[in-house]
Chain A
Amino acid sequence: MSEILTVTDLCKSFSDQPVVNSVSFGVRESTTLGIVGESGSGKTTLVRSILRAIDPDSGTVRYNSRKGWQDLHSLSPKELLPLRREIQMIFQDPFASLNPRMTVQAILEEPLIIHGIGDKESRKQRVAAMLEKVQLEPSSASRFPHAFSGGQRQRIGIARALILEPRLVICDESVSALDVSVQAQILDLLASLQSELGLTYLFVAHDLRVVREFCDEVLVMYAGNVVEQGPVEEVFNNPQHDYTRLLLSAIPSPDPDEKLEPLARDGLQLEKV
């Protein structure tokens, strides 16, 4: 399978403090790459600069669009617009990411209007079809976001991201604000949409259990650096870096017989990265 995104030597500092330090990786089409790390590890900055919400100091982000490879940071806003259709994002907070003053119909229709897709009638049909895809009632379209639960709102967020038929979807902690049972449903939905539509996910998370279950490959970040990357099973079963070992040792197991014995942070040589 070919790569859809390659990031090379990406660096970004805020007031001389490196937040993302020479990060390189690639994502293969129709797979899921997990990016894990604790708060302050630079994963949000990394993702935002892929989306061009932040301009990196150096490095390149190359995306393999339907029309071939393109360097995202050398494009003008006008040239970027068609790529917006291909790269979409699902946010963390299902409350903050939907405009409370728009109905679900208006929220889902907006991307279509902006990109000049279809007429009023066909847009309505597309919204209805999309709602069905994310398993929401067709009657949801006329309601406002506050009428929905957290999980339902996240489904609306997913519908908005997918209605433009993107190829690469960035999930920025998209399930971490949800209850565990709702989380399981949303992950199921994301997985079934991936196999149906051939989506590629860039999945940012701090919960290693979710990453282990959901991702194909994983990138472990610590203090702006990638400390380890590889297929999920390989990294989780045979971690090479001390930090990955620390993270894994800190997961509380639901089995009371597997005692939680986190490694001592001081004993690890984390400063060397």
Chain B
Amino acid sequence: MSESLLSIKNLSVEFKTELGKVNALNEVSFDVPRNSITAVVGESGSGKSVTSNAILRLLPDTAQISGEIILNPQGEDPLNITSLDERDPRMQNLRGGLVSMVFQEPMTALSPVHRIGDQVAEAVLCHRDVSPEVAMAEAATMLEQVGLTEVDKKIRMYPFEFSGGMRQRVVIAMALICHPQLLICDEPTTALDVTIQAEILVLIKSLQRKLNNSVLFITHDLGVVAQIADRVVVMYDGQVMESGSVRQVLKNPQHPYTRHLLASIPGAVTDSGSQLHAANWSDGAPIGAGTFLADAEEGRQVREFSQ
């Protein structure tokens, strides 16, 4: 099989708002090859989260989607996600089965009132017909794989007893337990301290090598991209600026925006030319693009704001 696990072709997404349409994605095309980590990098409003939400069909009803998202799972027929009906039985198989997701905030992804072990086992029971004992055993193995020690004690603990880094490990275990062929990580380390971030990055990379799946890694940090990804897609304002292998893009960036991003990293060697780019590139950007996006995003912001 030579084709990629996921290929996105001419994907455009528009949101209807009270003051007209907002173009969130504009003819985005890229591939996620098998057995590799592909990073999507961009600043807020670049459309990277909209892309990942479109793959899982998590966009709100106000979104108008055109283009194709083709998933080529191993041992199954190819699937065009954009044309799939919401009630199609393959949707259930897609979400959490073939594709699963790790979010930025590990605390909100875990239920505070259930034990860790039960939550991970729950994911097994949702997708496969096994006994609770088998599910629990699998959960314990998976938690061991994500680097938790003394697992038999920890599966009986609650999320609040865990540190942020440990919680994110549990979330990763939940995402991986059904052996998804594609794991989407949406800024999984942004909320974490730098030392914890490093541990999680090393973990995601080693698990990918071990499980031979593909990872789509959304981030805004080129340092993270360099350390984790095999391939990278640079996005800006809903468009793909540049894509290619990490080495090729970061060592020899072709697009001025990529060069600008690299120059913006603190401590990067800057010449006066890149400073000029800095002035050209960002403040004029349509920064509001992130505003009316996914309901989940809005909901989170509303929650943050109202108390």
Direct contact of A and B (CB under 8 A): yes
Residues of A bordering B, CB below 8 Å = 38-39, 149-152, 179-185, 187-188, 206-210, 212-214, 246-247, 249-260, 262, 265
Interchain CA distance A180-B261 in the complex, whole Å: 7
Is the CB–CB distance between A181 and B278 below 8 Å?
yes
Among residues 253 to 297 in chain B, which have CB atoms less than 8 Å away from a CB atom of chain A?
Answer: 260-268, 275, 278-279, 281-283, 285, 287-288
Task: Tell me which of B6-14, B103-111, B223-231 binds A.
Answer: B223-231
Given contacts A252-B227, A256-B247, contact A209 B265 (CB under 8 A): yes
**Given A182-B282, A207-B266, A213-B267, does the pair A256, B226 have CB atoms closer than 8 Å?**
yes
Is the Cβ of A251 less than 8 Å from the Cβ of B194?
yes
* Min C-beta distance of A225 to chain B, whole Å: 17
What is the number of residues of chain B that contact chain A, defined by CB distance less than 8 Å?
A: 42
Q: Which residues of B contact A265 (CB under 8 A)?
A: 195
Minimum CB–CB distance for A74 against chain B, Å: 36
Contact of A254 among B193, B223, B283, B287 (CB under 8 A): B223
Q: Is B169 an interface residue (CB 8 A)?
A: no
For B223, give its contact among A184, A188, A247, A251 (CB under 8 Å).
Answer: A251
Please determine whether B197 and A250 come into contact, CB atoms closer than 8 angstroms.
yes
Given that A149-B287, A179-B282, A212-B266 are known contacts, is A253 also in contact with B43, CB under 8 Å in the complex? no
- What is the CB-to-nearest-CB distance from B298 to chain A, in angstroms, rounded to a whole number? 14
User: Is there an interface contact between B193 and A206, defined as CB atoms closer than 8 Å?
Assistant: yes
B227, A253: Cβ atoms closer than 8 Å: yes
CB–CB B194/A207 < 8 A: yes
Q: How far is the CA of A185 from the CA of B279 in the complex (A)?
A: 8
- Which residues from chain B sit less than 8 Å from chain A, CB to CB? 43-44, 164, 193-199, 201-202, 220-227, 246-247, 250-251, 260-268, 275, 278-279, 281-283, 285, 287-288
A212 B267 Cβ-Cβ under 8 A: yes
Give the chain A neighbours of B246 by CB distance below 8 A.
Answer: 256
How many angstroms between the C-alpha atoms of A207 and B266 in the bound complex?
A: 9
Chain A residues in 8 Å Cβ range of B44: 150, 179
A254 to B197, CA, bound (A): 15
The answer, among A38, A150, A181, for a CB contact under 8 Å with B264, is A181
Please, how many angstroms separate the alpha-carbon atoms of A188 and B224 in the complex? 23
Task: Quote the shortest CB–CB distance from A235 to chain B (angstroms).
Answer: 14
> Is A209 a contact of B275 with CB atoms below 8 Å?
no
The smallest C-beta distance from B274 to any residue of chain A, in angstroms, reads: 9
What distance in Å separates the Cβ of A36 from its nearest Cβ neighbour in chain B? 9
Question: What are 6 contact pairs spanning A and B, CB under 8 A?
Answer: A150-B44, A250-B197, A254-B222, A256-B227, A259-B227, A260-B198
Contact between A253 and B197 (Cβ–Cβ < 8 Å)?
A: no
Q: Are A260 and B227 in contact (CB under 8 A)?
A: yes
| CB-based contact A256/B194 at 8 Å | no
When distances are taken between beta carbons in the complex, the residues of chain B under 8 Å from A207 are 194, 266
User: Of A150, A180, A249, A258, which one neighbours B198 at CB under 8 angstroms?
Assistant: A249
Q: Which of A39, A149, A212 contacts B283 (CB 8 A)?
A: A149
> Across the interface, do B283 and A38 meet the contact criterion of CB distance under 8 Å?
no
How many angstroms between the C-alpha atoms of A259 and B44 in the bound complex?
Answer: 27
Contacts of B260 in A (CB 8 A): 181
A184 with B195: in contact, given A149-B287, A152-B283 (CB under 8 Å)?
no
Q: When the two chains form their complex, are residues A184 and B267 in contact, meaning their CB atoms are under 8 A apart?
A: no
In the bound complex, what is the Cα–Cα distance between A212 and B268 (angstroms)?
Answer: 11
Whether A254 contacts B264 in the complex (CB less than 8 A), given A151-B283, A185-B279, A185-B283, comes out as: no
Chain A hits for B224, CB < 8 A: 252
A183 and B266 within 8 A (CB):
yes
Complex: how many Å from CA A149 to CA B263?
Answer: 21
Distance between Cα atoms of A223 and B197 in the complex (Å) = 18
Whether A256 pairs with B43 at a CB distance below 8 angstroms is: no
Centre residue among B164, B198, B278 by max chain A CB count within 10 A: B198
Q: Do B263 and A247 have beta carbons less than 8 Å apart?
A: no
When C-beta atoms are compared, the residue in chain A nearest to B165 turns out to be A265
Which chain A residues border B196 with CB–CB below 8 Å? 38
